[in-house]
């Protein structure tokens, strides 16, 4: 069930009522675990067994890892955990993609192979919960985290419904201690949690789905009909759509967790005010980028083995990051481009412009340049096929084709994305909580009411699943 659905509203009201009726922390955890599995079952009931199996296997493996001191055995158990999680992902997420590319590779050598038509339904959230699980076993292996957690607590860590299907990817050392320790959410936590949830819904339902998505879909569906102005508008609008869709969902997840007394980390920190590409990845999908840094980049050696190895590691890490988003060469291309930007940035890290770019008030040209490059790099991410991506790129320079969009629609989109970037620039070093806290009580109430009213006004009609829903 989606956060912006009536089913979820009924679900959360029921769960929250029961949460406060149950006084014991153990009972509350049982309730949250049951609710999380019911939440997951609402997508596709049989896949709860997959979630349970994956959770059970990693919990047992982590315990064995922690109970043995033999390096070879520890390594073998870790490899078993990593390979079983990756096998799950490979089959469900990449099975058809791998087969299709295998057939294409054989065809290049003149060998005709028709792969069987696989009807694999992708389990929702598999990329998120396998990464959460993997981080646990790797941290246990590295002795960063103990492995003596109760199964119920670990299962709740993996499956906790606010972050189960689309993140943020919360680390075991952050969430498990919170789960283990009894807690009563304070009034301030509940108030701020609900506020975050309302603001997240506004971002997703109003800004992503209602304001930006329709125009993006219209232009990307048939780029050849639109002039350069329209295509630029759609490309810029997608930057807005994907930010509000994913950041909105993350805010909802963080807010929901806070209502139950759990603190999740920020997942987005005004990314379109990034001064560099590395700064962008410290602000965009922070839970994924830090996961990739800690378990892939550092695992490959990080920057410890010379400049060329560092660049290779950056490229490979971002390639994996791209592939994580979906089984498509377009996502791989997107990831590779970001890897290239990061590697190129390392090359220039000593350049005078780097320090110039960090001076507040004088950094906006650099910020705009980074935003423009990031925006253009979203093209392969959004395009379903290389042909569509190529058409969009060509469309950016189709100055002889007349623009088909209404000027008022174009202006509204451009104002929306400009306001978004401007807001990011103003907020880049502040927190949402501190900024909101400085508003008076009446203004806060009006802001939250405004979010709810806007969500209500834009409800009804086509329901779009979160972009990151199938990751």
Partner 1 sequence: MLASAALIFVAFVVMLEMALAARGYRPTVLDSESSWFKQRDRASALGSRALIMIGASRIQLDLDLDALRAGTGLEPVQLAVNGSSSMPVLRDLVDDPTIRGTVLIDYYDGTILGAEGEDDAARYERDYKKRGKQVPSGNQMEEWLTSALHMRLRAYADGASPLDSLRLRVLNPEATPQYLITRPDRSRLADYARVKMPDFLYARAIRDVGGGMALGPGANNDERRRAIEQRIDALLPLDNSAFESRVQVIGDLVALLRKRGVAVVFVRLPESGYELEANDKRFPRMSYWDFFASRIGTSTVNFADIPALKYFECPDGSHLDYRDRQAFTERLAASLDLEKMQ
Residue closest to 315 by CA, chosen among 294, 284, 346, 287: 346
Q: In angstroms, give the least distance from the CB of 456 to partner 1.
A: 6
Considering beta carbons, is residue 124 or 274 the nearer one to partner 1?
124
**What's the rounded Cα separation, in Å, for the pair 210 and 267?**
23
Q: Are 335 and 381 in contact, with CB atoms under 8 Å apart?
A: no
Angle (deg, nearest 10), helices 71-108 and 47-67: 140
Residue 53 or 449 with smaller CB distance to partner 1: 449
* Cβ at position 271, least distance to partner 1 in Å: 28
The alpha carbon torsion through 326, 238, 388, 325 (nearest 10 deg) reads -10
Question: Residues in the site for partner 1, rule: CB under 8 A?
Answer: 1, 5-7, 10, 41-45, 119, 121, 191, 194-195, 198, 441-442, 444-449, 452-453, 456-461
SS3 217: helix
State the Cα angle at 128 between 280 and 214, rounded to 5°. 65
What's the half-sphere exposure (Cβ side, CA atoms, 13 Å) at 123?
Answer: 22
Which residue matches tokens 């869709």? 245
Q: In whole angstroms, how close is the CB of 85 to partner 1 at the nearest point?
A: 24
Which is closer to partner 1, CB of 165 or CB of 288? 165
What is d(CA 449, CA 459) in angstroms, rounded to the nearest whole number?
A: 15
Residue 328: CB minimum distance to partner 1, A: 20
d(CA 259, CA 187): 9
Closest CB to partner 1 among residues 192, 297: 192
Residue 30 catalytic? Answer: no
Q: Which is nearer to partner 1, 407 or 441 (CB)?
A: 441
Asked, as a colleague might, if the bond just before 401 is cis with ω within 30 of 0, I would say no
Burial class of residue 235, CB neighbours in 10 A (0-12, 13-18, 19+): buried
Pick the catalytic residue: 163, 285, 325, 424?
325
CB-nearer residue toward partner 1: 36 or 357: 36
User: In Å, what is the CA distance from 72 to each residue of 249, 309, 368?
Assistant: 41, 27, 50
Cα separation of 167 and 12, whole Å? 18
- Taking the complex as a whole, how short is the minimal distance between the CB of residue 247 and partner 1, in angstroms? 21
CB of 2 to partner 1, least distance (A): 8
Residues forming the active site:
325
């Amino acid at each position: 069930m989606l956060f912006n659905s009536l089913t979820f509203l009924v679900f959360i009201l029921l769960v929250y009522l029961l949460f406060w009726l149950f006084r014991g922390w153990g009972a509350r955890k049982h309730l949250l675990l049951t609710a999380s599995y019911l939440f997951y079952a609402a997508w596709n009931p049989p896949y709860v067994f997959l979630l349970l199996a994956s959770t059970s296997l990693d919990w047992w493996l982590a315990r064995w890892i922690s109970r043995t001191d033999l390096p070879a055995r520890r390594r073998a158990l870790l490899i078993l955990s990593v390979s079983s999680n990756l096998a799950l992902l490979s089959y469900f997420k990449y099975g058809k993609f791998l087969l299709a590319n295998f057939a294409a590779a054989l065809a290049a050598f003149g060998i005709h192979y028709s792969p069987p038509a696989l009807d694999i339904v992708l389990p929702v959230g598999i990329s998120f919960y396998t990464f959460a699980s993997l981080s646990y076993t790797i941290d246990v292996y590295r002795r960063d985290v103990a492995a003596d957690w109760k199964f119920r607590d670990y299962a709740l860590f993996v499956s906790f419904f606010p972050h189960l299907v689309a993140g943020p990817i919360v680390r075991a050392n952050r969430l498990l201690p919170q789960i283990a320790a009894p807690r009563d959410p304070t009034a301030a936590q509940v108030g701020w949690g609900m506020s975050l949830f309302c603001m997240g819904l506004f971002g997703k339902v109003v800004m992503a789905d209602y304001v930006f998505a329709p125009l993006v879909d219209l232009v990307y569906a048939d780029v050849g009909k639109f002039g350069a102005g329209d295509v630029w508008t759609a490309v810029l609008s997608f930057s807005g759509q994907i930010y509000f869709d994913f950041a909105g969902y993350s805010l909802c997840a963080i807010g929901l967790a806070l209502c139950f007394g759990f603190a999740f980390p920020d997942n987005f920190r005004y990314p379109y005010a990034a001064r560099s590409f590395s700064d962008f990845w410290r602000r965009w999908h922070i839970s994924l980028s830090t996961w990739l840094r800690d378990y892939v980049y550092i695992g490959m050696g990080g920057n410890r083995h010379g400049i060329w190895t560092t660049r290779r590691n950056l490229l490979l890490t971002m390639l994996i990051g791209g592939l994580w988003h979906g089984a498509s060469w377009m996502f791989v291309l997107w990831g590779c481009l970001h890897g290239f930007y990061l590697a190129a940035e390392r090359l220039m890290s000593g350049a005078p412009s780097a320090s110039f770019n960090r001076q507040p008030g004088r950094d906006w040209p650099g910020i705009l340049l980074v935003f423009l490059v990031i925006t253009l790099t979203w093209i392969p991410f959004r395009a379903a096929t290389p042909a569509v991506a190529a058409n969009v790129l060509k469309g950016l320079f189709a100055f002889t084709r007349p623009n088909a969009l209404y000027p008022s629609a174009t202006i509204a989109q451009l104002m929306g994305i400009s306001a978004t970037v401007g807001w990011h620039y103003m907020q880049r070093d502040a927190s949402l909580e501190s900024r909101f806290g400085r508003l008076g009580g009446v203004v806060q109430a009006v802001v939250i009411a405004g979010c709810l009213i806007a969500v209500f006004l834009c409800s009804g009609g086509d329901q779009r699943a979160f972009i990151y829903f199938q990751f």
